[in-house]
Structure 1
Amino acid sequence: MGNKLNQGWLYTDRINAKVVGQTVLDFYSQRYGHSDRQVWQERIELGQIAVDGKTVNPSYPLQAGQTLTYWRSPWAEPDVPLTLPVLYQDEDLWAIDKPVGLPVLPGGDFVYHTVLEQLKIQFPQESLFPLHRLGTGTSGLLLLGRSALGRRELSRQFRENLCRKIYRTLIGPCSLSEQFDCHQAIGKIPYPQLGYIYAATADGKSAHSYGRILARSPEKPGWK
């Protein structure tokens, strides 16, 4: 898609009891901090936001069960690799090679330039869904559920820690021991282009990673 404009996107939210009584403007400005309050007010006044299919004013109070939609006008998504080589496939499971720079799921400025949407575009005859995530800056094997059985069983295996992810990375000079354990909590943190990323944060979910140094170099290998 390059620098061409995409087709725009319709974002949908369902109102629950926690936000009943909030105005439409309060809801968007508090929930989606990537845009300031004035910008959200302009979008509402321009008719880009609707409640149950009808445009409203910024002070409209929300009720439980209502559906909010925000139409984002077409924009140029960041230019990233979109090729998804298929490394393995059977009736239940596919494995693809995810390139660096391509997010798995939509978020922020990335909607069509994501694995999820490219699967629909490049393989429209298939019903494929990523069973796990790889970070935007990470390349590697990504497993996709093709059948209901494949999605259910592989999801169970990830949930029960029967599947492991092994990463290889280059880092700068460090004093890490040859083998180490990391128990840093992982959670969402704001990130402009993507909306959020998962990273080390005190209020995240518990996580355990095991690391092993494969080789050391006095230089920064591959960073020349």
Structure 2
Amino acid sequence: MPSPLPVRDGVGATRLHVPMTGAWPTIGAYMAERFFHLDPERLLTRFDRGEIVGRDGTPLTRETPLGAHEFVWYYREPPVEREIPFEIDVLHQDDDLVVADKPHFLPTTPGGKYLQNSALVRLRNRLGIPELTPIHRLDRATAGLLMFSVRPQTRGAYQLLFENRQVEKVYEAVSALPEGWDAASPTLGGRAFPRVYRNHIEKLRAHVCVRVDADREPNSETLIELIGFDQHVLHTRLRPHSGKMHQLRVHLAALGAGILNDGFYPELLPEAPDDFTRPLQLLARELRFIDPLSGAPRAFVTRRTLQEAPTGA
């Protein structure tokens, strides 16, 4: 559904679904209850300023009755953001694609307490492309390759590549050396490299971590290859066959090789401010695919490295 409001400062307007019937006399009353953490009068003042609009772009008032509009649009008020002190690099740009190299800690898209400090908004503002849209996503904690669509006319062709698993994705991770590590005969979870690991991952609503269900058919699969190791850490190459939330972090944790500096797996740690000196040691290293428009093979490789990787790996 197209937005009636243009992109502003790299950020698109937010769309809100409003019930057509209910106990609220006005749309403003519904929004005041929905966003109970906000000062109600401050929210209603935004109606007075014409900042909340319907599908045709018509500004709503604080007296607009419930049922007059099913969807409304507005710009999020910018939060007070902590600056993410790392740059996102552009590795490739053409008429249809932008491939960027994302640093750790930078989210892919705006959300929560991050707005201007997101890969999408930074790139829209830097490149002057308001319609730039991510074709896939990386966790905020993960660094590496991100691909963006430049034009709506060709966006679907590239999105289908990911939906149909026609993009070869390669990651790297550094973990603490597992217990009982045998340098003469390296194994992970009791099996030699390379090894395939599968399990069933389920995303639960309102939970930051996923749940693994050992009784259900596996829906996630990762090929794990050994790159190197030293006395303290293990360096692996990861080739996911599926794309479940937190899949690589969950799989390595399940095998006794949780990724260094992971605050979610194998144990959820208390929320704390970012420590920029301790990034998650997970990197989206390569993207390879056959271009759906030209039929030519495409390959992109990150310029970033993992700071905890064994020397010479």
TM-score normalised by L of structure 2? 0.51
Structure 1 residue corresponding to 2:169, chosen from 144, 161, 165: 165
Corresponding residue SS for 2:145: strand
Matches within 5 A, 1:188-207: 190=206, 199-201=209-211, 207=219
1:45 is aligned to: 41
**1:219 deviation in Å?**
1.2
Alpha-carbon deviation of 1:28?
6.7
- Corresponding residue of 2:103: 99
Question: Which deviations, in whole Å up to 9, do the C-alpha atoms of 1:31-80 show, x marking residues without a partner?
Answer: x7xxxx4x34xx22332565752236xxx984373445676544321221
Equivalent residue for 2:259? none
Q: Report the counterpart of residue 110 of structure 1 in structure 2.
A: 114
Distance (whole Å) between structure 2 residues aligned to residue 68 and residue 148 of structure 1: 23
CA RMSD for the aligned pairs? 3.7
Query: CA offsets per residue over residues 88-107 of structure 1, 9 Å max, x none?
Result: 22222221111111111111
Q: Which one-letter code corresponds to 1:15 in the other structure?
A: V
Q: Does 1:219 align with 2:232?
A: yes
1:194 maps to none
Q: Post-superposition shift, 1:21?
A: 0.9
Aligned-partner SS, 1:168: strand
> Does structure 1 residue 85 correspond to structure 2 residue 101?
no
Which among 7, 17, 38 is matched to residue 14 of structure 1? 17
Shift of 1:136: 0.5
The 1:120–1:209 alpha-carbon spacing in structure 2 relative to 1, beyond 3 Å, is same
Query: Could you tell me how far 1:81 is from its partner in structure 2?
Result: 3.9
Change in 2 beyond 3 A, CA 1:218/1:63: farther
The secondary structure found in structure 1 opposite 2:171 is: coil
The answer for unaligned runs of 5 or more in structure 2 is 1-8, 54-59, 179-187, 235-307
1:185 equivalent to 2:192? Answer no
Letter of the structure 2 residue corresponding to residue 208 of structure 1: S
Q: Secondary structure at the match of 1:119?
A: helix
Which segment is superposed worse, 65-74 or 80-89?
65-74
Matched with 2:278 is none
Q: Distance in 2 between matches of 1:168 and 1:183?
A: 20
Question: Does 2:61 match 1:54?
Answer: yes
- Partners in 2 of 1:184 and 1:219 — Cα distance? 30
- 1:200 counterpart letter in structure 2: V
Question: Residues of 1 paired with 2:160 and 2:199: CA distance?
Answer: 23
Partner in structure 2 of residue 145 of structure 1: 149
Per-residue deviation, residues 169-198 of structure 1 (Å, max 9, x unmatched): 11224353431323332436548xxxxx6x
Kindly tell me: are residues 181 and 25 of structure 1, through their superposed partners in 2, closer, same or farther at Cα, counting changes over 3 Å? Answer: farther
- How many pairs are equivalent? 197
Report how far residue 16 of structure 1 moved.
4.5
| Contact persistence 2:109–2:118 (CA under 8 A) | yes
Identity %: 21
User: CA 1:220 to 1:27, structure 2 compared with 1: closer, same or farther past 3 Å?
Assistant: farther
Q: When the two structures are superposed, what TM-score results if normalisation uses the length of structure 1?
A: 0.68
Deviation larger for 70-79 or 134-143: 70-79
Structure 1 or 2, whichever has the larger Rg, is 2
Q: Could you tell me which amino acid in structure 2 is paired with residue 21 of structure 1?
A: G
Aligned in 2, Cα 1:168/1:22: closer, same or farther, shift over 3 Å?
Answer: farther
